[in-house]
Amino acid sequence: MSFIKRFFQKSMLGFKMAIQGFIFIKKHPSLLIFPVVAVVIIFTIIGLILAALVASVGLFIHHPHATRENVPISFYIIAALAIFVSALVINVTNSFFSVAQVQSTVDLLNGKQTSFTRSLGQAFSRLGTIIVWSLIATIVGIVINNIRSKNSQSSVIAQFLRSILAKILVLAWQFSTYFVIPIITLENISIVKTIESSYTMMKKTFGNVIGAQASFGLVSFLATTVIGGPLALIAWALFSWPGAVVIATIVIVITSVITKATETVFKTAVYQMVHERNTGPFSKQEIDQHFIRGN
């Protein structure tokens, strides 16, 4: 029972820390610039990829001898390489700006004035590690997707087992690498030691993370249903389904940006807490007082 009690207490603390994270973002909205820039770059990359694919397919279709059977193998190789490189660039972009946000968050927790250029400088100083980490994450993602992908020749049982295995691997990977970004930012160690350190930290703070993830999920659900739902219905009535799709997409993107920024703040605060460094408003005493006051 003592284990269950401790786990529940940690989960509640994590839940409160996540809520405090949203308040922290509201107080320091400049932290949102990092995920916003990342999203803009990622959407630009996706747009360029789609444009290139459409152009390539269009050129092939209009070829006088084009058939499904005579598609050159080089076309598939180039397409696969393009997808891999694009996924890698997206992961690098995401990790790069997350590292920059961690640095800004640490500055704020230490009572310092945050600097966008200093945070980017820290991210650039870790660029080699970021690229290696992104390469590993991309390869792992591709392997898991291949396991999860359906094969028409496989039996229903085999497909079910592949799906279960993929989910287990996803959970194991997320568990082991949850704190990779703060560690990359604040420790100059190899990527192997980074993952090991992340795994060790996760074992210590698993209850906190579970509580925080519940908070992030709840906020995302409320934002997309309570806010996004009515707005999408209004857009549907005024502009038909394209308007509803646009509004829903905007709400989802905004919610994702805010949630991601808050999750990065939470990870940074937990890292600081584990290493007994300044946690600012995320200390247990501050959080308890905050929720007792109801502010």
Over residues 20-46, the mean pLDDT reads 92
Task: Work out the burial of residue 281: count CB atoms within 10 Å of its CB; fewer than 13 is exposed, 13-18 middle, 19 or more buried.
Answer: middle
Domain borders along the chain are: 2-288
Distance CA 103, CA 238 (A): 44
- Residue scoring higher pLDDT (80 or 120): 120
Q: Give residue 177's pLDDT.
A: 95
Amino acid identity, residue 231? Answer: L
pLDDT digits (tens, 9 = 90+) for 123-146: 999 999 999 999 999 999 999 988
- Residue scoring higher pLDDT (240 or 99): 99
Distance CA 10, CA 213 (A): 12
Q: What SS3 class is residue 153?
A: coil
Contact 10, 205 (CB under 8 A): yes
Q: Give residue 56's pLDDT.
A: 66
Residue 216 tokens read as: 């992030």
| Percent of all residues in the chain with a pLDDT value above 90, rounded to a whole number | 41
pLDDT digits (tens, 9 = 90+) for 159-208: 888 889 989 999 999 999 999 999 999 999 999 999 999 999 998 888 88
Q: Give residue 69's pLDDT.
A: 59
* Closest to 95 measured CA to CA, from 150, 35, 144: 35
* 22, 122, 136, 169, 186 from 174: Cα distances, Å: 22, 24, 13, 8, 20
Of 13-17, 61-65, 157-161, the one with minimum mean pLDDT is: 61-65
Amino acid identity, residue 10? Answer: K
pLDDT higher than 60, residue 295: no
pLDDT digits (tens, 9 = 90+) for 232-261: 777 777 777 777 788 888 888 898 999 999
Q: Give residue 237's pLDDT.
A: 74
Contact 56, 293 (CB under 8 A): no
| Percent of all residues in the chain with a pLDDT value above 70, rounded to a whole number | 86
pLDDT higher than 70, residue 16: yes
- Average pLDDT of the chain, as a whole number: 84
